[in-house]
Amino acid sequence: MLSPSRSLNLSADGLFSGLRHLRYGTGQDEPMPFTLTLTPQYVAREIQKKLPVSYLKVQRYAERNAEKLKAKAKLEKERGFNTHTLE
């Protein structure tokens, strides 16, 4: 569990096979960052569009909903997980 002084921050992100991986940790030296994965299916449902959803739309969704995604990552990390995929 995270202490109040060790909040999650977005440390890096990447793209693999159409998925957007957002890595959260307490710093760049985080030994086990939490990885939240956005799928095009999730983003399509959230923005009420049909598939396929472009990488640009997924990226914009991640940028526009950064606080919401950070809160989801924090909740899942507090539940004891290291990864979570939003499908």
- The string of pLDDT tens digits covering residues 4-25 is 334 556 554 554 457 888 888 8
Please tell me the pTM assigned to this model: 0.78
Nearest residue to 10 via CA among 86, 74, 85, 75:
74
Please compute Rg for the chain using Cα positions.
Answer: 13
* Mean pLDDT of the 18-44 span: 86
Q: How confident is the model at residue 26 (pLDDT cuts 50, 70, 90)?
A: confident
Domain ranges in the chain are 9-86
Q: Which CATH class is domain 9-86?
A: alpha beta
- The string of pLDDT tens digits covering residues 52-82 is 988 889 989 999 999 999 999 999 999 999 9
* Mean pLDDT of the 41-58 span: 93
